[in-house]
Structure 1
Amino acid sequence: MHRLSSTALSFKLARILQLHAIRRCVHHRGLISSASRRSPGEGTPGVAENVSLGIDSEKSANEKGKQKEGAEQVSITKQEESPVPLLQRPLGVRDRPTSQSKTWADIRDEILDHEKRLEKRKYLVKEATRGYFTDLNATRRHGGKTWIAPKVMIREDKALYFPDVAGSDLKSKADAHTTSLCVGKVSVVAILSSRISELQTANFVKPTLDQFANHPSFRFVQVNLQENLLKSLLVSMFISGIRKTIPERYWETYIISSQRMDYLREDIGMTNRHVAYVYLLDEQCRVRWAGCADPMAQEIEALRVCTGVLLKRYSAASNKP
């Protein structure tokens, strides 16, 4: 009996020591805290702080978002309230246009021209910062109008050339160039790219066509410009529908073009792809007047008056011996 009780006692003592060792190990790892217990009303500081910080950060994010939206609305409002400026510079390019295709020598010269390479780089940098819907959003401000046409013509010694735009005419789908059509004529050239631009052009040129359409030295040229490949294909499929909307007398001077105008848009002021651009050219294809987007009454009258002045000057110069 004494041996059994001693064995049982030693076993019990070993069990107590084992439990004590486990308790010390657990306490050392921090799973059991020796600190006093918190009252039920107290929460875990870390959780409370995290929740508080989360609410504060959410509030601050909402406030920043509202401030940003407010700033954008103020910016748009200011741009809408600010008046559209007058055209400040002659539009066009310095090189005389030609309907002849470029030779390999011309292409080589363009590639090796340092200034032209710099211009292309500037254009690429500018385009990289433009959004896909930039032009569409710009129509919210003044209908996409970026400048007001002058009341008088651009001086002859300051005027620049209108670049050659190639395509096919509406009459027989033959090759057509704006340069071939406009040289030796006083021409009104309209760039169309959408239904809106067609309506804007009609408003621009109606009084001018009513007065000068039958003049032998006058020509009205329309360029349906579709740089997007898909749109270009759709337009080419519906040429018969276009013929129904255009008077037959203008089929020969109606050009359907898919020419890329990327490096020429800034030169001729054609910065928005969704609105109309109307140019008055003299007999040497120099831009003497230009208008864009929804026409004002003064712009419509200015186009009519300037066209009449150019026709008188050209007729007088042609009749000289």
Structure 2
Amino acid sequence: MSRGYFADISEIRKNAGKIAAASKVIIPEDAAVKFPDLAVESPDGRVLHLPLAAPPSQDVDHEAGDTMVPAASLVCLSFRASSQKMAESWSLPFLDAFGAAKNIHVYEVSFIDSWLLSSSPVRRVCLKVMRKSNNPNRHVVYAFGDHYDFRKKLQILNLLTGYICLVDRLGRIRWQGFGSATPEELSSLTDCTSILLDEK
């Protein structure tokens, strides 16, 4: 699962970050894979464990720990600063479309793999100066440390592009996108999210 920077940049130059086509329709429940467990931290120091998921026997109004389980979560993964704008090309239009819904969350996850920045004292200082969000549905969070196992589970090779996952209330990936959003891809994402909101 490891490649060099030059291999990644060569691929990006060829496809502008579109390493694969985004889903056009929702991924069926029986074919959907679970989003891997991931611990993230918010700038205020809170630790969250993604995905926020309810046990199969619970409905969407139940809670996971102290946090309400959303009907759908858009999880945007950035492994390098260069892909944060790609993530926002999905998250901001998504929030425009569903911002009024209380059971929709957006998580913009930035991965920080530097051992120095991941060390406890430095990490606390970093979090204080990291970008934040004032939107209660938009969560800007950070994952510190080695992420090899996480990437392996999602078959992520290129670290210079963005990876977008629409996750249902049971923690399953029901739609995927890559790189920067196109109008057609945003339309399919909106349609698939509406389906999740209607699921019982």
TM tier relative to shorter chain: 0.7 to 0.9
Q: Aligned match of 1:249 in 91, 113, 135?
A: 135
1:250, 1:197 → 2: CA distance? 23
% of aligned pairs identical? 26
Change (3 A) 1:284 1:259: farther
1:202, 1:191 → 2: CA distance? 10
Question: Does 210-219 or 283-292 show the bigger shift?
Answer: 210-219
1:204 aligns with 2:90: yes
The CA deviation at 1:248 is: 1.9
Change (3 A) 1:236 1:269: farther
1:222-248 alpha-carbon deviations (Å, 9 max, x no partner): 2111123245567754434434xx322
The CA deviation at 1:287 is: 0.2
CA contact (8 A) 2:78 2:111 kept: yes
1:272 aligns with 2:145: no
1:226, 1:199 → 2: CA distance? 16
**Aligned twin of 1:175:** 47
1:182, 1:220 → 2: CA distance? 14
Task: Report the RMSD for the aligned CA atoms in angstroms.
Answer: 2.5
1:218, 1:267 → 2: CA distance? 25
**Aligned twin of 1:158:** 31
The amino acid of 1:242's aligned partner reads M
CA contact (8 A) 1:281 1:288 kept: yes
**Aligned twin of 2:15:** 142
Q: Aligned match of 1:299 in 173, 182, 185?
A: 185
User: Which consecutive segments of 4 or more residues in structure 1 shift more than 6 A?
Assistant: none
Mapping of 1:275-290 within 5 angstroms? 275-290=161-176
> Which 5+ residue runs of structure 1 have no aligned equivalent?
1-122
1:239 aligns with 2:112: no
Q: How many residues align?
A: 183
2:166, 2:140 → 1: CA distance? 16
CA contact (8 A) 2:167 2:175 kept: yes
Change (3 A) 1:235 1:139: farther
The amino acid of 2:109's aligned partner reads V
> Which 5+ residue runs of structure 2 have no aligned equivalent?
55-68
Change (3 A) 1:239 1:194: same
The amino acid of 2:32's aligned partner reads A
1:70-113 alpha-carbon deviations (Å, 9 max, x no partner): xxxxxxxxxxxxxxxxxxxxxxxxxxxxxxxxxxxxxxxxxxxx
**Aligned twin of 1:82:** none
1:220 aligns with 2:92: no
The amino acid of 1:281's aligned partner reads V
The CA deviation at 1:271 is: 1.8
The CA deviation at 1:252 is: 8.1
State the TM-score, normalizing by the size of structure 1: 0.51
Give the structure with the larger strand fraction: 2
2:108, 2:74 → 1: CA distance? 8
The amino acid of 2:16's aligned partner reads G
